[in-house]
Amino acid sequence: MRVVMLSKMVVVGAYQRKLEEIAAHPDVDLTVIVPPYWQEEVRRLDLERSHTQGYRLDVLPIARNGHFHTYFYRGLGARLRALQPDVLHIDEEAYNLATWLALRAGHRVGARPLFVTWQNIHRVYPAPFRWFEQVVYRQAAYALAANAESVEVLRAKGYAGPVAVFAQMGVDPAVFCPGEEPRFLRENGVLIGFFGRLVEQKGLLVLLDALAGLEAPWHLHLVGDGPLRLTLEARVAQAGWADRVTFNRGVPSAQMPVYLRQMDVVVLPSLTRPNWKEQFGRILIEAMSCGVPVLGSDSGEIPHVIGDGGLIAPEGDASAWRDQLARLAADPALCAALGRAGRQRVLVHYTQARVAAATVDVYRAIAGAPANP
């Protein structure tokens, strides 16, 4: 079964581990087409070659790099004619120009295309994007949904084809693993970690409000950058917390497991907004895999990701967040139990091997082969 995947996401080396796991299935002959780089809002992500065993990583330039809705791969038609795939995995939303063009090119060579969706808010796009979306809905062989709410959106917008719901990213549990020494609740207080963009919708101002009334000693590490940074720094200075809040613009990906294992709890206090809702929260599964307790809001997919592997607090409710943090700070045994439960949840649902196996089952369904029992 010849499979071609198009994905700008896998320019990041850590995400390539899933590709190796897909290629490890003996009935899959995998080629992955990637751009040489992807331009995000504030940084350029150059292609890393970290996990490249068992499949071909094929670099193809893209036009309008950095423009999420209108970028596309140059020369894709010729490349697909040379590769002659049975399955074309388009790792992109249905409404994007790149998806529509790839679907057309795939059909010309007899491939059966699938697309991926993360969208958990029902949006009506302007032309021509809503036209692209409807064509892809009618002509795709399958949809991969990254969260449960995105299936509801698909159906409400008219997609009637088959859909599989599972995480589109996982972790390597041999890399993201617990430390040898128990870490919970040092003498100088609970160490709280946030990893992500410093933006309003991540709920960081609510987190600071919660910490303002927390009686237990604490220290907060904010790892990431974004437009809310100056506001957060001002709030920290006003509260006199210079020795309690650490700002770190980023941690190298290879150091993430080490950094996570230093935390007593990792938080994700996201806030739902009219145009945004948490779609997954990768940092949650990375922390859980390291045996670190997690505390998340009830925005979007967060409660489904955490399950019994951590605690949930209502989004925007500083008092409830304070109570949950106090509960963790007072109970090392609870922290340890949540750490074990989170690790187990990752092993069952969120390893790269599990995600790859679910993906290959879809390939087999598309190609008419039997799926795994």
pLDDT tens-digit profile of 2-42? 999 999 999 988 889 999 999 999 999 999 999 999 998 77
pLDDT band at 184 (very low <50, low <70, confident <90, very high): low
Top-confidence range, 64-68, 98-102, 145-149: 98-102
CB atoms within 10 A of CB 370: 8
CB atoms within 10 A of CB 275: 8
In this prediction, residues 350-354 reach a mean pLDDT of 96
Nearest CA among 6, 172, 21, 175 for reference residue 75:
6
Cα–Cα distances in Å, from 314 out to 211, 239, 330?
15, 24, 20
Q: Are β-strands 62-63 and 72-73 bridged in parallel, bridged antiparallel, or unpaired?
A: antiparallel
What span, in angstroms and rounded, lies between the C-alpha atoms of 3 and 237? 54
What span, in angstroms and rounded, lies between the C-alpha atoms of 30 and 27? 10
Q: Is the pLDDT of residue 362 over 70?
A: yes
The whole-number pLDDT of residue 164 equals: 97
Stated pTM of the model = 0.89
Nearest CA among 17, 39, 163 for reference residue 94:
163
The whole-number pLDDT of residue 253 equals: 76
The whole-number pLDDT of residue 189 equals: 84
What span, in angstroms and rounded, lies between the C-alpha atoms of 94 and 82? 25
Q: Could you give the 3-state DSSP secondary structure of residue 164?
A: strand
pLDDT band at 231 (very low <50, low <70, confident <90, very high): very high
pLDDT, the chain, mean: 93
Q: What is the CATH number of domain 190-349?
A: 3.40.50.2000
What span, in angstroms and rounded, lies between the C-alpha atoms of 324 and 353? 33
Q: Is the pLDDT of residue 371 over 60?
A: no
The whole-number pLDDT of residue 185 equals: 55
In this prediction, residues 139-150 reach a mean pLDDT of 95
Choose the weakest-confidence range: 113-117, 133-137, 213-217, 320-324: 213-217
- Specify whether the CB–CB gap between 217 and 190 falls below 8 A: yes
In the chain, the amino acid numbered 109 is: V
The whole-number pLDDT of residue 252 equals: 80
Q: Is 344 or 43 the better-scoring residue by pLDDT?
A: 344
Cα–Cα distances in Å, from 343 out to 33, 171, 201, 369?
32, 11, 27, 33
The whole-number pLDDT of residue 13 equals: 87
Q: Domain spanning 2-170+351-367: which CATH class is it, in words? A: alpha beta
Q: Is the pLDDT of residue 372 over 50?
A: no
- Specify whether the CB–CB gap between 76 and 102 falls below 8 A: yes
41-96 confidence digits (pLDDT tens): 777 889 999 899 999 999 999 999 999 999 999 999 999 999 999 999 999 999 99
pLDDT band at 278 (very low <50, low <70, confident <90, very high): very high
Q: Could you give the 3-state DSSP secondary structure of residue 322?
A: helix
Q: Which residues pair with 297 in a beta bridge?
A: 313
pLDDT band at 279 (very low <50, low <70, confident <90, very high): very high
- CB hemisphere CA count around 199 (13 angstroms): 11
Asked whether the CA dihedral 158, 163, 165, 171 is positive or negative, the reply is negative
Asked if domains 2-170+351-367 and 190-349 share a fold, the reply is yes
In the chain, where are the structural domains located?
2-170+351-367, 190-349
In this prediction, residues 303-318 reach a mean pLDDT of 96
E strand spans, 78-141: 87-90, 112-117
